[in-house]
A and B are shown apart, each in its own frame.
Chain A
Amino acid sequence: MSSYPLTIREITAGLQAKKFTSVEITKHLLAKIKKEDQEINSFLHVCEEHALEQAAAADKRLAANDNITPLTGVPYGLKDYIATKGIRTTSASKILENFKPPYNSTVVTKLNDAGAVLLGKNNLDEFGMGSSTENSAYGVTKNPWDKTRVPGGSSGGSAAAVAAELVPFSIGADTGGSIRTPASFCNVTGLKPTYGRVSRFGLFALASSFDCIGPLAHTAEDTATVLSVIAGHDPHDNTTPRKGVPDYQKSLQEKIAGLKIGIPKEYFIDGLDAGVAKNIDNAISQLKKMGATTVDVSLPNTKYAIPVYYLILFAEASANLSRYDGVRFGLSLPDDPTGISELYFNTRGAGFGKEVKRRIMLGTHTLSTGFFEAYYLRAQKVRTLIRKDFEKAFANCDVIATPVTPTPPFKIGEKTGDPLTMYLADIFTVAVNPAGIPGLSIPCGFSEGLPVGLQLLAPHMQEERLLNVAHQFQQETDWHMQRPVQA
């Protein structure tokens, strides 16, 4: 076959109707990655042999009609931040350049069991620290819509790989917007599930009270398919509640007439790009046309979300990253140190990039004696206020709709000189993680040819509601099916 379908649903249908095999589509995508990803740099490494083995096994399973799932034989990419047994996992850091984990993360085990085919590991900002993928130690990923611009971050490789049609879906992780921002910048659908909905066992921890794993795909329907496979309780991650996983496909078809959409005024501010604002307005009008109503809500502590988020993140990250010490795994410099200090300083000094060092030092500062109460404890208290803001707002609406980012994708290099400016770009995504609620980004239009995403938020464990609204929106619009022009 010369061309293969893009979405998981169509690939599954093609595989099950024997129109093509998993080995065929896997070979096709591996060749496409080889040819087209030189420039985009969405993959850090491709595991060709492993992929072909998995594809052959999936074909056997399909032929024997043996326990077929909607992901059996379907290729995918994985943020290189999530452990794969025997396959390099670098977190886009020099400190893990040659690291091959001795175990699989729970999401990978679940995807293996479902019969999905891992093609390779997607680029990211080093240890998830960034909003543009410019902080990767292995070079920036380019936005397939405009290769002079960033794909967003930190799951920029995942979003770009889906947008460039190199994989039908990729697994990312979201600590403060790292799935939603790249989804918005690359015109794909990206879901940050409720905190604890998906096991983080095997995710390299950044900020443990924020980190979430979730899917990026072409459609809400495909996103639902992947979430059904990766969600659920895991004894290895004690933040995953013992709650059953609903069939996320089931609720997709419900009509949204009567849905109450909350519009928080704090997200429609002066700095909001006019093109973004116009597309968000249009998307909300579209939802109203489909029978939804809007209601004004207020999230008064929104302006504190950036300091709250970053202060807690610095603290948690500086503690989490203390494990990279040159002793047990990863980079170890020099080969024959005279003392443990020499090993620590050299390994961490050479292995970590600038943004990682900045955040570790800020965490060290804010947790040090005399500063803990002023920074960390205060941030955790304001976090309570942010969480309560959402609880109050959701008393009056079913979902909240906002922009994902204040601007369309920015130029590569535009914000790298000033870390604070880069942090401020996260204004619309960071409040969600301290609150622990789910958030979804869906394509909703273009501003001067660049993608704009709509963010939908719901109360804890209400992923079904988000996916339902997004799916219904995607039945009436085709923004999500717009493709970047191939150069």
Chain B
Amino acid sequence: MAAEQADNLDEAKVKYLADLARLNLTDEEATAFSKQLSAIVDYFDMLNEVDISDVTPAHMLDVYADAFREDVPQPCMTTEDLLAVVPHAQVPFVRVAPVFDN
């Protein structure tokens, strides 16, 4: 990683990331974000100095091994409850714009 990669967070890269994340960005945002994100990534490069050769990654699963619940029927939300918050519902369906538009 290091410096060369931080340099890569130029406006073009920022626009590419926004594209991957499905975010409209204005040109001003792209300019400002390029500078800000580069500074952040640069600072975070300090993790490179840590010796992690024999370290396993942390996760919370080791702490909570009894997570499974009993398989018994429970009351749950109804279709009506869920459709009530859908912006463009056509009961009993969710209306979605064409998916293959590219």
Q: Which A residues contact B (CB, under 8 angstroms)? A: 99-103, 195-196, 209, 235, 238-239, 241-242, 301, 303-304, 306-308, 310-311, 318, 325-332, 335, 337-346, 348-350, 352, 354, 357-358, 360-362, 364-365, 368, 371, 374-375, 377-385, 387, 418-420, 423, 434, 436, 460
Contact = CB atoms under 8 A, between A and B. Distances in A.
A449 B80 CA distance: 53
B85 A420 contact: no
Interface in B18-40: 18, 20-25, 29, 33, 36-37, 39-40
Contacts of B82: 102
Secondary structure call for the A interface = helix
Contact of A340 (B36, B39, B96): B96
Nearest to B9: A365
A381 B55 contact: yes
B77 interface: yes
B58 interface: yes
Given A238-B68, A362-B37, A381-B55, A304 B60 contact: no
Interface in B47-102: 47-48, 50, 52, 55-60, 63-64, 66-69, 74, 77, 81-82, 84-88, 94, 96-99, 101-102
A419 B40 contact: yes
B67 A239 contact: yes
A327 B23 CA distance: 15
A358 B99 CA distance: 27
Given A304-B46, A360-B21, A460-B63, 8 more contacts: A102-B82, A308-B47, A329-B85, A342-B101, A361-B23, A378-B50, A384-B56, A419-B40
A380 B57 contact: yes
Given A238-B67, A311-B44, A341 B102 contact: yes
Contacts of A301: 50
A344 B22 contact: yes
Contacts of A420: 36, 39-40, 43
Contact of A361 (B17, B24, B84, B85): B17
Nearest to A384: B58
B50 A304 contact: yes
B64 A239 contact: yes
B24 A346 contact: yes
Contact of B99 (A101, A340, A418): A340
B18 A361 contact: yes
A350 B85 contact: no
Nearest to A361: B17
A337 B57 contact: no
A368 B24 contact: no
Interface of B: 1, 5, 9, 14, 17-18, 20-25, 29, 33, 36-37, 39-41, 43-44, 46-48, 50, 52, 55-60, 63-64, 66-69, 74, 77, 81-82, 84-88, 94, 96-99, 101-102
Contact of A307 (B17, B44, B88, B98): B44
Contact of B24 (A310, A350, A383): A350
B58 A102 contact: no
Given A339-B97, A357-B33, A345 B24 contact: yes
Contact of B58 (A330, A361, A380): A380
A349 B43 contact: no
Given A304-B47, A357-B33, A382-B52, A368 B85 contact: no
Among A318, A325, A365, max chain B CB count under 10 A is at A365
A420 B60 CA distance: 27
Given A102-B81, A318-B21, A361-B23, A310 B40 contact: yes
A329 B83 CA distance: 9
B36 A379 contact: no
B87 A330 contact: yes
A340 B98 contact: yes
Contacts of A331: 87
Contacts of B50: 301, 304, 378, 381-382, 385
A159 B75 CA distance: 35
B56 A357 contact: no
Contacts of B74: 235
B27 to A, nearest CB: 13
Contacts of A361: 14, 17-18, 21, 23, 33, 37
The 4 closest A-B pairs by CB, nearest first: A349-B24, A339-B101, A332-B87, A380-B57
A101 to B, nearest CB: 7
B49 to A, nearest CB: 9
Contacts of B88: 332, 335
Nearest to A460: B63
